[in-house]
Chain A
Amino acid sequence: MTSSSHKVPSTTAGSEVAHLAKFRTLLEPHVDGFSYFTDTALPRALEDIGRFTFQVGGNAPNASEATKNLPTRTIECWYTEPTWIKPTSGREGRPFLPKHARELGESYNAELKLTFNYSIDGGPAGTFQRRQGPFPVMLGSSLCHTYGLESDALVKMGEEATEFGGPFIISGIERCIRLLQVPRCNVALAIKRPTYKSRGSSYSEYGVAYRSRRWNDDCSTITNTFHWLTSGSMKVRFSVRKQEFLVPAVILLRACGVQGDNEIFSRLTSQAGAKDSWVLERVRLLLHDAKQHGIYTSQEALAYIGARFRAVLGRGNERNDVQCGQEVLDKFVIIDQRSLEDKANTMLMCMRKLLSFVGGRCGADNADSLQNLELLLPGHLIATFVKEKIEEQLTSMRKGVSKEIRTRGAKALSELGEPAFWGKICDRYGGGAAGNIGKKVAHFLSTGNIVSSSGLDLMQVSGYTIVAERLNFLRYISHYRSVHRGQFFMTMKTTAVRKLLPDSWGFLCPVHTPDGGPCGLLNHLAVKCETQTRSMDMAKRDRVLETLLELGVTALEPGTTMPAKYLDVVLDGRVIGGATINECNEIVKEMRRLKVIGGIEKTTEVALFPPIQMGPFPGLFVGTGMCRFIRPVQHRDTGMVEYLGPMEQPFLSIACMPEDIREETTHVELDPNNLFSLIASCTPFSDYNQSPRNMYQCQMGKQTMGSPAHSLPHRTDNKLYRIQNPQAPLVQTARHGEFKMDDYPNGTNAVVAVLSYTGFDMEDAMILNKSSYERGFGHASVYKTKIVDLKEEAERMGSKEARLRFSNQKLAPPRPNRDGTPGETVIDGSLGPDGLPHVGQWVEEGDALYSYVDELTGKEKVGRHKEMEKACVQNVRLLGAERGFTKGGKAKKEALQRLSVTLRIPRNPVIGDKFSSRHGQKGVMSILWPQADMPFSESGISPDCIINPHAFPSRMTIGMLIESMAGKAGALHGKFQDATPFSYHESKGQLAIDQFGEQLQEAGYSYYGSEPLYSGVTGQVMHADLYIGVVFYQRLRHMVSDKAQVRATGAVNQLTRQPIKGRKKGGGIRLGEMERDALLSHGSAYLLHDRLMACSDTHVAHVCKRCGGVLSSQTRRQEVLSAGVGVENMRLKWICTSKQCEGKPDEIVPIRQPYVFKYLANELAGMGIKMQCKVSA
C-alpha cells in the first residue's frame, strides 16, 4: 500500500480538556461577551449614568402652590455596586442548575442587586440594596454553575461533556441571541445615499457616518452623521430618544473649543494643501454660512446648544445652559472621545473626509463590506439595554420624589432623610419591590423584541433571539456561529447586501449560507474567525500609542495643524498625529513585527489606506477596540502567527497555499480550510463538488436526524430527533476529527450502487434494501415532551385557586352498572392510581395520558394522546412548585399541579422519507426492495441502497464519487479515510482517485471502484461495470408521516363552507388557479366540477324564478306540503319574500351552486346591489 501522509482523522483528536477548550473558543463571542457584561460593562454603565441631581420644594421648577413656601432641597440619587448571586433554588440556597431549569420548565436566573444611594443637600449618603429581579443568565458564563468546569463535572451536572454554553433558558426552552453585523465603531464611513436628500431642503446625498462607542467601553453607541449641504454648510445628525437632531458642525466645533475662523479654516484645509482651491473655497463657504448664527466663542456655542436641548434632556434649573451643552457633547457627540480636544479632532477628520468625498478625491465606502462592519455581541446588547433601563428607573424615581413632595408637601419633605421613604419610592416608582430589570431582560429574550426609549442605536426592534434547536449537533452549534446582517435588509429589494465580497475571506464562510430568503444575509463565521469580546486594557492601548509615537508618528499637539501630504494616524477614532506615506509604510511594517513578537498586543489591527485617487480616505488606522473580527494567518517574515482584521486584510498579500507565494506576499494562510465554517468543513472532498451542492449539504446537515445530545434523560425539548444506529463516517475531514464530531454521529455508512435497476429510482428516488432496513438502517425515533399545567387549566376555567389535581379516583360515588354491580371508581384503567401514565406504556390515538379531578364540581377529566402515531411513555416528571409559605411561615402543602411527559414515537423509514448523502444529493425512499432481488457483486455484497446515475451529470458532485471509492477502500482496509479539502493535488504527486484506486486494487478490487454486478432476479451478470462503494448517508427530518395530508370531507369554514386549510386541522390542499388552468386545458371539466363544487361547498339554493333573488326565498313552517314522512322527505313550502313577488304565486326552484355564491349575494346586498339569477327551463 502506498504510504500516505494523510492522517487518520478519527484518532487525531486531543484530550478531553483541549477539546472542550476548542468549543469554548468557538462560543467566545456569546459566553465571554455575557461575562463582560456582568463583570465590566455593568459597573461602568452605573458609573457612567452617575448621579441624578434635582431639586424639590420651593424653588423647584415644578413646584406647586402647596410647596411654594417650603425650603428647597437638592437631592442626589445613584446606583453603585452591582452584586450577583448565582442561580439558587428555594430558601435553602442550593445551587439551581441548568438541568433543573430545563426539567422544571423554568428560567435559569441569577439575582441582581444594586446599591441605591441618596444624599440630601450634599449630606452623607444613605444606602440600601435593591433587588433587580431574577435575571436570565447565559449558560457557561461566569455567573453560571457550569463556568469553567471540566467534562466529567459537567456530565455529573446532567450537561453534555462538551457543554460550552451560549443559550439562556427561558421557561425551560433554550434561546440564544443572534450575532448581528453592525457598522464598525469609531470609523468614519463616506456614504452616498439618496435618502439623505430628504432630510431637508439643500441637503445632498453625501454624508459621513460615524458610529461611536462610548470611551469607557460600557458598550453603548451613538451614530453621528455628518451631512453635506449644497449651501456649503455641514450638519451633524444624532438621535436623542428616537428624535433626530441636526446641529451645524461649526457650532459643535466651536463648542469643543475650536473657536476662531482661522483655526477652523487651517485645521480643515491643512492636509489638502494650499493648491486645492476647491476645498479652500468650500471651507470658506462653510465658515460664511456659520456666521448667520452669530456664535463665535466656545461658551456661546455651549449655551446655544444647551438652551435648545434642555427640554429633551429633561433637565430642570439645577444646571445652566453651558452645563446642558456640555452634557449634550458628552452624551451624544463623538462619545468615544472623552476630551473636547479629541472630540474636535475626530470631528475635523470626519469633515475633511466629507470634503474630500464630495470633491471626488476619495470614493464612497462600501457599508456592506466586512471592512466596515463589526459584530453586535449578545452580552453587549444586554449591557446597553440594561444601562438604559437603569437610567429609566432613576428618571422615574426622580419624578416620583417630586410628585410625593408636590402632593404631600411638608410631611414628605421631612421624611426625605429616612430610608423608609426611599424604599417606598423604589417600590412605587422604581419597578416594584422585586425590581423589574431582570423581568425586562427575560421578556426581551423570550420574544426577541427590544423595548427601548432611545432606540439604542439599533436598526431593528424585533427578531434578536431564536430558539437554539437541538435537532442535531451541527444545527445546535451553527446557531452560535451564525451572523445575521439585520432584519431591515431582509425586506430590501436590492441584492447588493447579499453579495459575497472578497473582503469577507476567512471571516465568513462562503459556502454556509441558506438559499432563499436569508441567502447572503445569514452567514456563518469561519472556524478560525474570532471576535474581540473585550477592548484592550488601558495599559496595552497606551503601549500601542507609545509605540506609534516612537516609530515616528508626529504627534498632534493641541491647536496645531499637520503639514500637507501628511496622512492622519488614527487610533480607535482618535487622531493622534500624522506621518508621510513612506513613514507610514515603515511604521506598519514594524508594527506587524511587534504584533507577532509580542511588543504590542497581537490583536491590534493596523490598516494603512494609501492615497489612491477615488480610493478610500487615506490614513493609518489602528484598531484596539472590541467586537472586531480577527483571524490567524502566518506572518511570512517571522514565520509566526499574526492576527488580521478585515480592515487591514484587503491591503495585504496573503498566499492561500505555499505555492501561491509571490515577491510581495507578506502572509500565508495557516490552512486553506480556515476559509470554511465548521459545518462546511465537515463535507468530505468538498473541493471536488460544484459549489451549490456544498451549500445544500450545509443546509441538509442541519436537518439530519442525528444525535442531538447525550444527556437525553434530562432533556425536555419540545421535539427531539434521535437516530438509533449511528456510525462514524468512514470518510471524514481533518476538522471532523479535530472537533470530535464522531461524538455526535449523524448517519450511517451505506453500500451504494449507482444504477438504474427497477424504475423505482427515477427522479432522485432511491431504493432501499429491505434487509438493510430490517437490520436497522435509518431507524430513528422522535421524543416529544409535553407539559400539563393544571393551575393554568384552572385559571382558564376562571378560578384562581388550585381546584384541579391529578388523580385516578372518581370523587363522586360511581353509578352502579345496569346489572346492579357497583360502578367503576377508577377514571381510566390504563393509568396509575396517581392519574399519570405508566412509564414504558404504549399509547395510541385516543388513549388516556393523564386524568384529573375537579374538587369544586366533583367531575373528572381525562387528557388523551391526540396524535395519530403510537407512542411510548418514556418519562413522567412530576414538577413541584417553588414552595410558597403560608402566613405562619409553614410550607404550603400543594398537590401535584404540573406534569411533564416525554413520549417516544418510533419513526423507522417508510416510503417517502428523505435521505441524503453529504454532497447535496437528496432523495426519497421509493421502495423497500427485497435483498434477494437486489443486485449483488462477485464478493456477494448487495447494496444497501441504489441511486440513479442521472443524479450525477448535471450536479457534478464528484466529491460523492470519490467518497464512494474512499469509503469502499476504507471498509476493505479497516481504516478511516482522510477527506480534507485541498489536501490532494496533482502538485503533491497524489490524486485522490489514484490513492484510493491503488488501495482498492490492493484489496483485489477494480481500480476505479466499479464492479460487475449480477441481477438479483435472474442471476445473470449485467452488461456494464457498475459503480458501487460506501457512502455516508444522512436521514433527514422531513418525513411523510409529518406531511401526509388527505381528506374527502371534513372541517369547513363557517362563512364560506369551503374546506379549511392546514394539515393539523384536517383541512384540504388548495386547488388554485394554475391547477384549474391545467385541468381545463385537458378538458377534464367533470373532474373540475367534482373538485371545486362537489368536494368543496356545494349547496342547494332556492332561487325565485320571477325576481331572480337568491336571498329572498324562505320556507313557511305552517304550510307543510307532506305529512307523516321523515325530515329528509318532507316537502316545505318555499315562498319569495321580495317586494315584487309579494302575493304572487311562488315560482321557486332549487339550484345547485357553490355556497360562497350565496355569501357573495349577501355581501352585494349589503352594498345595496341586488344580484339576479336568470333561471331558464
Chain B
Amino acid sequence: MDNAMQVDNTASLAATSTAINPLKSREKGFCEYRCGDCGHINSLKLQDAIRCRQCGFRVLYKIRTNRMVQFEAR
C-alpha cells in the first residue's frame, strides 16, 4: 500500500509530536494526549502515570496524527 505509511523514521517522529513545539517534544521524549473527560492536552513522558494533569481522569486519547494518510480513491 501507500508509501506514505512507510516514511522514514525520523520524519515520523517529528510528525507525531504536536504542532505546538515539535522540536522540544521530540527531544525530551514527550508525547501529547487529550484527556477523555475534560479535553486538556497533556504531554507525558514514556514512564509517566496515565492521568490528566487538570482533572485527574484516567483515560487519555492519542491525538490524531499529522502525518499524511493516503486514501485509496477507488
Contacts and interface: CB of A to CB of B under 8 A. Distances in A.
Given A100-B57, A842-B69, A880-B60, A829 B50 contact: no
Contact of A840 (B1, B49, B59, B64): B64
Tell me which of B16, B36, B55, B59 has the highest count of chain A C-beta atoms within 10 A of its own C-beta.
B59
Contact of A829 (B6, B29, B46, B49): B6
Given A103-B36, A807-B46, A833-B31, A879 B58 contact: yes
A208 to B, nearest CB: 58
Contact of B49 (A824, A836, A894): A894
Interface in B43-74: 46-51, 55-65, 67, 69
Interface stretch (A32-40, A498-506, A685-693, A870-878): A870-878
A879 B6 contact: no
Given A829-B8, A829-B12, A893 B49 contact: yes
B62 A833 contact: no
B13 interface: yes
**Taking chain B's interface residues, is the majority helix, strand, or loop, or is none over half, making it mixed?**
loop
Interface string B1-34: 1100111110011001000000000100101010
A892 B47 CA distance: 12
Contact of B48 (A844, A881, A893): A893
Nearest to B31: A834
Tell me which of B9, B26, B31 has the highest count of chain A C-beta atoms within 10 A of its own C-beta.
B9
B62 A832 contact: yes
A805 B47 contact: yes
A714 B37 CA distance: 10
A875 B60 CA distance: 10
B8 A878 contact: no
B46 A805 contact: yes
B50 A830 contact: no
A825 B46 CA distance: 16
Contacts of A840: 64-65, 67, 69
A93 to B, nearest CB: 11
A841 B65 contact: yes
Tell me which of B5, B33, B50, B56 has the highest count of chain A C-beta atoms within 10 A of its own C-beta.
B50
A836 B58 contact: no
A839 B69 CA distance: 10
Interface string A818-853: 000000101001101110101111101000000000
Contacts of A90: 56
B66 to A, nearest CB: 9
Given A833-B29, A842-B5, A878 B59 contact: yes
B47 A895 contact: yes
Q: Which bucket holds chain B's interface residue count?
A: 35 or more
A883 B65 contact: no
Tell me which of B48, B63, B64 has the highest count of chain A C-beta atoms within 10 A of its own C-beta.
B64
A877 B49 contact: no
A243 B50 CA distance: 53
Given A834-B31, A838-B65, A881-B58, A824 B5 contact: no
A839 B31 CA distance: 13
A880 B9 contact: no
A870 B74 CA distance: 15
Given A840-B65, A894-B49, A830 B6 contact: yes
A878 B62 contact: yes
A896 interface: yes
Contacts of A1065: none
Contacts of A281: none
Contact of A92 (B26, B46, B47, B56): B56
Contact of B65 (A839, A877, A879, A894): A839
Contact of B16 (A806, A833, A893): A833
A1122 to B, nearest CB: 50
Given A830-B6, A833-B29, A880 B58 contact: yes
A896 B58 CA distance: 11
Given A829-B12, A880-B50, A836 B62 contact: yes
B51 A883 contact: yes
B6 A104 contact: no
A895 B29 CA distance: 14
A878 B46 contact: no
B46 A877 contact: no
Contact of B31 (A104, A832, A894): A832
A988 interface: no
Interface in A67-115: 89-90, 92, 94, 100, 103-104
A877 B6 contact: no
A538 interface: no
Contacts of B48: 893, 895
Contacts of A89: 58
Given A832-B62, A833-B29, A881 B50 contact: yes
Contact of A875 (B5, B16, B47, B61): B61
User: Which 10 residue pairs are nearest across A and B when measured between Cβ atoms?
Assistant: A880-B50, A880-B58, A838-B65, A876-B62, A878-B60, A839-B64, A834-B31, A829-B9, A832-B16, A895-B47
Interface of A: 89-90, 92, 94, 100, 103-104, 714, 805-807, 824, 826, 829-830, 832-834, 836, 838-842, 844, 870, 875-883, 891-896
Interface of B: 1-2, 5-9, 12-13, 16, 26, 29, 31, 33, 36-37, 46-51, 55-65, 67, 69
19 contacts: A100-B57, A100-B58, A805-B47, A826-B9, A833-B13, A833-B29, A833-B46, A834-B62, A839-B65, A840-B69, A870-B1, A877-B62, A878-B59, A878-B62, A880-B50, A880-B51, A880-B59, A892-B49, A896-B50
Given A92-B56, A877-B59, 20 more contacts: A805-B46, A806-B46, A807-B46, A824-B9, A829-B8, A832-B16, A833-B13, A833-B29, A840-B67, A841-B5, A876-B62, A878-B50, A879-B58, A881-B49, A881-B50, A883-B51, A892-B49, A893-B49, A894-B49, A895-B49
